[in-house]
Amino acid sequence: MAALASVLDRIDAEQDAAIRRLLNLLRIKSISTDLAYKEECRRAAEWLVADLTSIGFYASVRDTNGHPMVVAHHEGPAGAPHVLFYGHYDVQPVDPLELWTHDPFEPAVREGKDGHAIITGRGSSDDKGQLMTFVEACRAYKAVGGMLPCKVTIFLEGEEESGSPSMQAFLDANADELKADIALVCDTSQRDATTPAICVGLRGLVSEEVTIHAASRDLHSGSYGGAAANPIHVLAKTLGDMHDNEGRVTIPRFYDGVAETPRQTLDSWDALGETAESFLGPVGLSVPSGEKGRSILELVWARPTAEINGISGGYTGDGFKTVIPSHAFAKVSFRLVDKQDPVTIRSAFRKFVQERLPPDCRVEFKPHGNSPAIQLSHDRPYLTAAKSALAEEWAKEPIIKAMGGSIPVVGEFKTYLGLDALLVGFALPDDCIHSPNEKYNVSSFHKGQRSWARILDVLAKTQC
């Protein structure tokens, strides 16, 4: 087996080539939510298969009812653990395009605001740059010693940004092939540019589209105003009723199963020194909008939320059109914490809307995401091993944190494969994921590769 020092030296020496490979992947417009980019998603999957094959993996494109999966296998030494690495090659849409300072699919290495080198482009941080940190670590091991320290399966998804509609069926059908000792997920973030982190908690997600229908057609507001039901009024009032003046969600049964965060955990988060000003300041805000009396990290890591993600109705073009619209529409999502039941939350929200519906209106619902929160163990051997590897690379102990976002596949790995997960990522809070001007620090990309090389090295010696 190659000595770790030689692998790390190889990673350092190959950074220019590694960045070129990432830029080539970033040029592929793999937007999973838009069927216009269906072939681009397939092209990204095929690019990854070709790259993994070039370093000795047995890799293939696996068709689904949606965008394809990529599955790749590589043997390891006898008796070594088997790890399943997960990432996703699909990306978010780029709208609004006019807010980008550079073409989102013409990536490049540029100078960032703080003078550090950054890789720009959609998917640079979420999640193409992240998944390639692991691939490059494997490439270095293969180049130096011809083999990997563990048996490795790489599983890359093409629908993470569109709700993973094919995931459950795929895992169910391929469970025997994908079973391993531990899942590795690189879709999370560091504390800051010099502090690594391991995530042990993820909020769940329920997403719902709701449309209020009233008249059979748009109406002239002069002729019908004051007489005809206005679905925008109905929808706006209903959505406004979802929170009280203290920031709590008012939907009945919403807080079923929600426990208070242990004082010891809250104290450890307080010790990180995050304030409302430091957290919200970079995005032009300063005052938390959630439940009163809770710290900023408790709000985003440990409390459930109800958010309106989009709303429309009537005429929204240039100029003015005095209509009472026939319908109004909103996208609503709920971030859930441990023990909240997604099915109960969806049902409670629908009942909440229906109870506020005037006689002349009807409502239509369309479900989207539906995943519970995830709470992972703090004291498993693989996590202890990863902590030591990250501390060695970064010369700083990693923080153990929760995350406000959702990664539903972590729960599905547990359900369908019986796998615990190790969540280590190298994104930064200012990477602008899901927003214009997404970027990934070159240092994050480089040290992410070195970190995975170290983690593979220690996992090879650990009983997972």
Note the pLDDT tens digit of each residue in 404-452: 877 889 989 999 999 999 999 999 989 999 999 999 999 999 999 999 9
Inform me whether the pLDDT recorded for 227 exceeds 90: yes
Q: List C-alpha distances in Å: 391 to 126, 196, 265, 387.
A: 24, 8, 21, 6
Note the pLDDT tens digit of each residue in 62-99: 999 999 999 999 999 999 999 999 999 999 999 999 99
Q: How far apart are CA 94 and CA 186, in angstroms?
A: 22
Q: How far apart are CA 116 and CA 352, in angstroms?
A: 49
- Mean pLDDT for the stretch of residues 321-325: 95
Whether the ω angle into residue 196 lies within 30 degrees of 0, i.e. cis, is: no
Note the pLDDT tens digit of each residue in 175-194: 999 999 999 999 999 989 99
Note the pLDDT tens digit of each residue in 259-287: 898 888 888 889 889 999 999 998 899 99
The C-alpha angle 164, 169, 172, rounded to 5 degrees, equals: 125
Residue 461 CB contacts under 8 Å (≥ 6 apart), including other chains: 385
- Mean pLDDT for the stretch of residues 192-212: 93
- Mean pLDDT for the stretch of residues 108-121: 95
Structure-token pair, residue 94: 């780029």
- Residue 261: which of 302, 296, 203 has the closest Cα? 302
Confidence of residue 457 (pLDDT cuts 50, 70, 90): very high
Note the pLDDT tens digit of each residue in 235-261: 999 999 999 999 999 999 999 989 898
Contact 83, 401 (CB under 8 A): no
Contact 155, 88 (CB under 8 A): no
Q: How far apart are CA 177 and CA 398, in angstroms?
A: 32
Q: What's the mean pLDDT when you consider all of the chain?
A: 95
Lowest mean pLDDT among 77-86, 205-214, 324-333, 335-344: 335-344
Q: Which domains does the chain have, with CATH numbers?
A: 4-202+373-459 (3.40.630.10), 204-258+304-371 (3.30.70.360)
List phi, psi (to 5°) of 113: -60, -30
- Mean pLDDT for the stretch of residues 38-57: 98
List phi, psi (to 5°) of 169: -65, -40
Q: How far apart are CA 206 and CA 347, in angstroms?
A: 11
Structure-token pair, residue 69: 């999966």
Q: How far apart are CA 67 and CA 164, in angstroms?
A: 9
- Mean pLDDT for the stretch of residues 26-34: 97
pLDDT for residue 464? 72
Q: How far apart are CA 426 and CA 130, in angstroms?
A: 7
pLDDT for residue 60? 98
- Residue 448: which of 22, 131, 199 has the closest Cα? 131
pLDDT for residue 371? 84
- Residue 204: which of 253, 247, 258, 156 has the closest Cα? 258
Confidence of residue 1 (pLDDT cuts 50, 70, 90): low
Inform me whether the pLDDT recorded for 170 exceeds 90: yes
Inform me whether the pLDDT recorded for 375 exceeds 90: no
Inform me whether the pLDDT recorded for 379 exceeds 80: no
The C-alpha angle 116, 121, 126, rounded to 5 degrees, equals: 90
